[in-house]
Structure 1
Amino acid sequence: MNTGLKSTDYHFPGQTKKYTGKVRDVYEFENLLAMVASDRISAFDVVLPEAIPYKGQVLNQIASRFLEATSDIVPNWVESVPDPNVTIGKKCEPFKVEMVIRGYLAGHAAREYKAGKRLLCGVALPEGLKENDKLPTPIITPTTKAAEGHDEDISREEILKQGIVEESLYLQLEDYTRRLFQRGTEMAADRGLILVDTKYEFGLYEGKVILIDEIHTPDSSRYFYSDTYAELQQKGEAQRQLSKEFVRQWLISEGFQGKDGQKIPDMSPEKVNSISERYIELYEKITGDRFDRVDTSDIYNRIKENIEKSITLQ
């Protein structure tokens, strides 16, 4: 079985820096970034020990599709996609917040609500909600963007008070976030899905706000199947969903939530393969297209050659 792409360590002509994120390896040049979507998988802000075959291709190709489909709302960082696992784009100055938007009480928000909290990132939540209920209106619940460790919830008031983003720009981020979420909701509905929650990241490029990173992927978003949503909610049963939540739930069942002292459970080849198949299922359901499993027999050198060709042409 393909073991997946765990990491890269390239040295390109003109390269100025390399940054390794939880999932992506980012190579910096004077005005460009080459972002390699590896097959690493993270949950609870912890990178799990095994790579998931084809996961990087799934994320990169979904992100490319949705960035193109929303470019009329906000310009984005993409210049080219020279490889199934690679996007090359503008080098922006990223804002140090992630713009999380939620249409339903799910995931982290549901866990906080269950713990008794009724104020999430400065936004008041009504009493009487059940997990996965639709919220009266979508809410923006930002997080700080941590270079390492856990991202932390933060309110609009704290972002402005701490000067993390100036007010005029932050209001622009909120506007883009709501408009992108509306577009994502409409596109999901066309596929029989509900876009439950998602996150967007933005940066500045030549003084303008630019959409960066990935959008509407199963790593950054949560989807429910719309045809069974109402029935399952009425019965109080778990929703059928497309997201990375199935990985989180498996980890929770094994006693791991990324807390100090907890041991990451072993991932058998069967578990790795099942996660890979779920990601491929996610791709096909979200896009409506059949997933083309590209040849991964020499994925490391394939990516290197495609980046080199693309950088030369820029």
Structure 2
Amino acid sequence: MNTIIDTNFNFPGQKGLYKGKVREVYNINDNLLVMVATDRLSAFDVVMPKGIPYKGQILNQIATKFMKQTEDLVPNWLIATPDPNVAVGHLCEPFKVEMVIRGYMSGHAAREYKVGKRILCGVPLPEGLKENDKFPQPIITPATKAEMGDHDEDISRKDIIARGIVSEADYLVLEDYTRKLFQRGSEIAASRGLILVDTKYEFGKTKDDKIVLIDEIHTPDSSRYFYADGYQDRQEAGEQQKQLSKEFVRQWLISNGFQGLEGQTVPQMTDDYIETVSDRYIELYEKIMGEDFVKADVVHIQERIQKNVERYLAEQA
């Protein structure tokens, strides 16, 4: 399968390379960042051994299109998209927290609630909720930003400020931007027959001290969507919700005895299963964006990316 698992480009003016769980970020002259979305799949903060065809293209195109659709609300780092798998933007210093916002009691929040927790990241949770119930108001439950191989950890607003991870003034901006983005994302999702259940945003500061949205926004890797049609009926009947997210991968891993815990082994993903995951990601793209997904040529994917990025950088020189 023609997937991009790892890159080792040497672009003109390259100063450094950071490899995240899914994205690889090249520093160009301490001025620009070239972010390559690979086909790596991460679940429970563990990178799976095999890549998913077209996943990187899907994530990159969803993220960059949503940045264009929200730039009137919140400034972002994006400048250009010279390749289907690549975004180029301003050099930023990332905040070391992920701003997670939840409109519904799903996923991690539901798992914590099920074992009796009624406070999540310092936010009290109402009694009597069922999995996938809507919260009275969206709640912000931040997480520390982990390095590859480590687990993100829940953290409260109070602890973030007390530990000096983010200043109080900056944190208030992050909360404001998070709520605005979630509201816009929810409106866009509703227009496509979807519910934006929960998501996470990452922010950074530019050289001129401006707080901007970075990384991804409203992708199936960072967000959970439900189909709006039949949501209430399914809740009342105690049925699982029809959802669009990579939760289906997490559930497959759980059913095969893996939750990223020490001593557990990642189950083998057959080529047939990987193809079904790729098909699901394409479905996610088409439902979330409301348009057909056009597959890029992946015969020589590394060469394609290198040529497109070098052409873009030459045009900027």
Q: TM-score range by the shorter chain?
A: over 0.9
RMSD of equivalent CA atoms? 0.7
Counterpart position of 1:21: 20
Runs (4+) off by over 2 Å: none
Kindly provide the amino acid, as one letter, of the partner of residue 155 in structure 1.
S
How many corresponding residue pairs?
313
In the aligned structure 2, how far is the partner of 1:178 from the partner of 1:6?
34
1:3 and 1:52 in contact (8 A); partners too: no
In the aligned structure 2, how far is the partner of 1:250 from the partner of 1:228?
24
- Cα deviations by residue, 1:58-109 (Å, 9 ceiling, x for unpaired): 0000001100000011110011000000000001011110000000000000
**CA shift for structure 1 position 313:** 2.1
In the aligned structure 1, how far is the partner of 2:108 from the partner of 2:2?
30
- 2:34 equivalent to 1:39: no
In the aligned structure 2, how far is the partner of 1:104 from the partner of 1:266?
32
2:2 and 2:298 in contact (8 A); partners too: no
For structure 1, the residue ranges without an aligned partner over 5 or more in a row are: none
Counterpart position of 1:171: 172
2:2 and 2:299 in contact (8 A); partners too: no
Counterpart among 236, 239, 250 of residue 237 in structure 1:
239
- 2:303 equivalent to 1:306: no
2:294 is paired with a residue whose SS is coil
Counterpart position of 2:193: 192
TM-score, normalised by the number of residues in structure 1: 0.99
In the aligned structure 2, how far is the partner of 1:268 from the partner of 1:3?
15
In the aligned structure 2, how far is the partner of 1:49 from the partner of 1:228?
36
In the aligned structure 2, how far is the partner of 1:26 from the partner of 1:204?
16
- 2:288 equivalent to 1:286: yes
In the aligned structure 1, how far is the partner of 2:18 from the partner of 2:177?
27
Counterpart position of 1:139: 139
In the aligned structure 2, how far is the partner of 1:115 from the partner of 1:3?
42
Kindly provide the amino acid, as one letter, of the partner of residue 293 in structure 2.
F
TM-score, normalised by the number of residues in structure 2: 0.98
In the aligned structure 2, how far is the partner of 1:190 from the partner of 1:179?
17
Kindly provide the amino acid, as one letter, of the partner of residue 283 in structure 1.
Y
- Cα deviations by residue, 1:219-254 (Å, 9 ceiling, x for unpaired): 000000000111111111110000010000000000
Counterpart position of 2:112: 112
1:187 is paired with a residue whose SS is helix
1:227 is paired with a residue whose SS is coil
1:157 is paired with a residue whose SS is helix
In the aligned structure 2, how far is the partner of 1:124 from the partner of 1:178?
18
In the aligned structure 1, how far is the partner of 2:86 from the partner of 2:134?
35
In the aligned structure 2, how far is the partner of 1:260 from the partner of 1:104?
29
- Cα deviations by residue, 1:93-133 (Å, 9 ceiling, x for unpaired): 11110000000000000000001000000000010000000
1:250 is paired with a residue whose SS is helix
For structure 2, the residue ranges without an aligned partner over 5 or more in a row are: none
In the aligned structure 2, how far is the partner of 1:254 from the partner of 1:228?
29
1:201 and 1:213 in contact (8 A); partners too: yes
Sequence identity percentage: 64
In the aligned structure 2, how far is the partner of 1:44 from the partner of 1:313?
40
